[in-house]
Amino acid sequence: MKVTIEKIQIDSFGKLKNVIISANEGINLLSAPNETGKSTLAYFIKYAFYGFVGGRKHDLADNDRKLFTPWDGEICEGRIAFTADNSKYILHRRTSASGKETCEVIDRITGKPEFVGVTVGEAVFGVTEEIFTRTLFFRQLTLPQSTDEVLGDRLRDIAISADELVNTKRALKKLTDAKNELKGKAGNGLIPKAVSERDALEEEITRSESIKGECNRLQAELVKRSAIMRTDEENLKRLTAERQNMENYEALLKLQNLNRLKQAEQQAKEEYETLSAGLKKQADTADFGSLTAKNAQLIAETSNAQAQKEQLDSLKKEQEEYNCAYNTQGLSAAEITNIIASSKLKSKICISLFAVAVAAALGLMFISLPAAIGIAAVGAASGIMGIVFMQKPKKLAKKLGFNSVNELNSHLAQLPQKEQQAKLLQDKITALTQKYQASLSACKVLKQELEAEIASYTDNDESADFSQQIQKILTLSAACGEKLALWQVKKQEYDNALDGADIQALAEMAKSATKPERARSAIDMELNFYTKHLAQLTELNRKDELDLAAWDAKCGDISVLVGKRDALNNSIADYSLKHKAYEKAIELINDSGSYMKSMIAPRISARADRYFAAATDGKYNNFAVDTHVAMSFGEAQRSCEYLSAGTRDSAYLSLRLALADLLFSDGAPIVLDDAFSRLDNNRLAMMLNAVNTAAANHQVFIFSHGDREEALLKQQNINYTTTEIKEF
């Protein structure tokens, strides 16, 4: 594409700061003294399109960023407005002191960014920075030597079409040496060496992978076993906690047992003290015999008195029954006999009167009824009275307890004998009563003695007899003895249980105790199993870890080995690619001579001959370039080495302009920075004609420290634009 620079604005670059330069198509002339920034401006054009090069070089001359970073700042920044194939762009590039660089190209019509992610110069010009510098970027044309071979070397890198064809003999030697360095005919070189090293690494990798496989197997076993061990450890932790809980629970039980024993001992003590509080003293065997003997004596005497009382009661009952049986209610036998005899007499009289009255009444009934009735009434009354007197002995017998008067009479007949018997019965009662009173006295004495003795042991209980009280004393004494013995036993049990026991520690352990769900034997069995199992796994792990360490020590770092192998493979591939490239290059060089003669050299020669003729005002013609880019001129094709230094510079410039035409057929800016210092005025005038020829296709920048160029341009009526570095 045809490229034309319209305006250059430099914010900060080298010694230039806040300056602007305008340009047109054709020749643009900037004349200024040395040290005014012409070379800096020339370099800025290349910087804007390609950025800095040589950023890592320490030498200031080779490090563009260090060379052109302003002394009073740390930023390089500027813009170039240019056209390319009728499109208008603004190029802005900025570089900080740290090296961070930003570049953007904006289409001035659409405002959209262009050439994003690529090097602008390569996108615009189609060549690298190096080719741009060696073709379009001119400085002094002075060559270090004057030989055509050196000239060919200078042109080698800029002649793109003949880039690999320069100095064929030396290039072939270098390529062959490089190819043999990679792989020689004797089988030596970098490639065989790398292959040998790679093969050795492959063997090492295979061996290491085998070892790594064993290591992985051991590692997998360790991981698997470690997982089992973690499970065992968790089980042991759980079982240990369960076992500890059992110990805590046993501590709780022991504490409860101590409390129970303490309570039992206290209860036994209280029971003993309670029982012993009811006794003033305890009875022994001798006391028991004395109390029992007296009580037996009392019982016997009481029994005797009871028997006497029963006998006395029997006699009294017999006397009472006798008295009841022969009771006449205070009437004597004579009185009873008189009563019976009187009643019989009175009865007979009344009955006789009744009979007389009845007879009289019957007799008077026909004479005087009233008199008869009166006498009958008297007779009836006498009969009734007679009946009453007749019944009186019966009533008396019944009153006295007899069934009939005859039974009463029979009783009255036996009454003297019964009275004798009653007297004898009374005598017995009297005698027995005396014995009974004696027995009661004896019982009273025994009771008083027993009461006194019982009182010495305990308070008398009137609700209980002596046997019960004695038994109570003996029972209490025995119970007290038992309670005392039980207390002593309980105290001994508590003391034995308390011996060596830490109550505080037991209480602390018992706080978190819960009732175990399983027996101790089951827990201990599992604890023993998991402990042994964990120990076995630990030992197996220890052995496998030692084996793993041993294998691991024998195993190389596979990633490093693979990295080295891959690096060698990459190197081998790279070496092989280079080797093929070298072979191809050698082949191309060997085949390119005719191509150079038939295609490249004639094209370069034709264009260079036109420029060289203009630069020498037609003095030299038939300018030619051979396959080695060696220059010759004239009919006899003499080497340019015979030319003067200034003429050779003209020839060199002609070649450069010819290459620019061939490489940038559409046109590109050419920068000439003090390129004509070795040319005299005559050669300069002719060279400007050659430049004017190039300006028909290219935009040309001529930077000069004098006014020769401008004067000669005016003298030859060559169109040009004067520009200058302006501040803004």
Tell me the pLDDT tens digit for each residue of 532-565. 999 999 999 999 889 888 887 887 777 888 888 8
pLDDT at position 69, please?
85
* pLDDT category of residue 567 using cuts at 50, 70 and 90: confident
Sign of the CA dihedral running 248, 250, 253, 255: negative
Q: Where does 3-159+629-727 sit in CATH, by number?
A: 3.40.50.300
| Lowest mean pLDDT, pick from 40-54, 376-390, 627-641, 705-719 | 627-641
Task: Tell me what pLDDT residue 471 has.
Answer: 77
Q: Which residue has the higher pLDDT, 546 or 594?
A: 546
Q: What are phi and psi of 20, to 5 degrees?
A: -140, 140
Structure confidence at residue 280 (pLDDT): 74
Of 541 and 319, the structure prediction assigns the larger pLDDT to 541
Range scoring the smallest mean pLDDT among 156-160, 217-221, 235-239? 156-160
DSSP 199-239: HHHHHHHHHHHHHHHHHHHHHHHHHHHHHHHHHHHHHHHHH
* 156 has a pLDDT exceeding 60: no
* Percentage of the chain exceeding pLDDT 70: 85
Write down the pLDDT at residue 326.
Answer: 55
pLDDT of residue 725: 92
Q: Which residue has the higher pLDDT, 314 or 158?
A: 314
| Burial status of residue 530 (CB atoms within 10 A of its CB: 0-12, 13-18, 19 or more) | buried
Higher per-residue confidence, 279 vs 224: 224
535-539, 653-657, 667-671: the lowest-pLDDT one: 653-657
Residue 665 burial (CB < 10 Å; 0-12/13-18/19+)? exposed
Q: Is the model's pLDDT at 162 over the cut of 60?
A: no
Which pLDDT score, from 0 to 100, does residue 160 have? 34
Q: What is the mean pLDDT of residues 612-627?
A: 72
Does 602 score more than 60 pLDDT?
A: yes
CA distance linking residue 500 with residue 488, whole number of Å: 20
- pLDDT of 631 above 60: no
- Residue 139 reports pLDDT greater than 50: yes
Q: What is the pLDDT of residue 627?
A: 46
Residue ranges of alpha helices (H) inside 120-167 are: 120-125, 129-136, 148-156
CB of 699 closer than 8 Å to CB of 4: yes
Is the C-alpha dihedral spanning 59, 65, 67, 71 positive or negative?
A: negative
The model's pLDDT over 50-70, given as tens digits with 9 standing for 90+, comes to: 998 765 554 544 577 888 888
pLDDT(145) > 50: no
Average pLDDT of span 194-214: 86
Radius of gyration over alpha carbons of the chain, in Å? Answer: 82
Mean local confidence (pLDDT), 575-588: 80
- pLDDT reported for residue 152: 42
pLDDT at 503: 86
- Pairing assessment for the beta strands 16-22 and 3-13 based on DSSP bridges: antiparallel
Q: What is the rounded average pLDDT of the residues 565-587?
A: 83
Amino acid at 131: I
Query: What is the model's pLDDT at position 601?
Result: 62
Tokens 């080497």, residue located: 639
Coil, helix or strand for 93? strand
* For range 342-368, the mean pLDDT: 78
As to burial, measured by CB atoms within 10 angstroms (0-12 exposed, 13-18 middle, 19+ buried), residue 350 is: buried
User: What is the per-residue pLDDT for 600?
Assistant: 57
Question: What average pLDDT does this structure show over 384-411?
Answer: 75
Burial of 55 (0-12, 13-18, 19+ CB in 10 A): middle
pLDDT at 283 over 70: no
pLDDT 10s digits, 181-190:
888 877 788 8
pLDDT at 159: 41
DSSP string, 302-339: HHHHHHHHHHHHHHHHHHHHHHHHT--TT--HHHHHHH
What would the two tokens of residue 449 be?
């003695």
Give residues with Cβ within 8 angstroms of 368, minimum separation 6. none
Please give the residue that has the higher pLDDT: either 171 or 576. 576
Angle between helices 681-695 and 708-715 (to 10 degrees): 70
Rounded to whole angstroms, the Cα distance separating 104 from 559 reads 42
Find out whether 197 and 568 touch, Cβ atoms under 8 Å. Answer: yes
At 154, the pLDDT band (50, 70, 90 cuts) reads: very low
Q: What pLDDT sits at residue 450?
A: 78
Distance CA(376)–CA(362), nearest Å, equals 8
Q: Note the pTM of the prediction, 2 decimals.
A: 0.44
Q: What is the mean pLDDT of the chain?
A: 81
The predicted pLDDT at position 7 comes to 96
Cα torsion 202, 204, 205, 207: sign: positive
Identify the DSSP state of 645: H
Mean pLDDT along residues 343-354 = 80
466 in Cβ contact with 296 (< 8 Å): no
d(CA 233, CA 422): 114
Please indicate whether residue 609 or residue 125 has the higher confidence score (pLDDT): 125
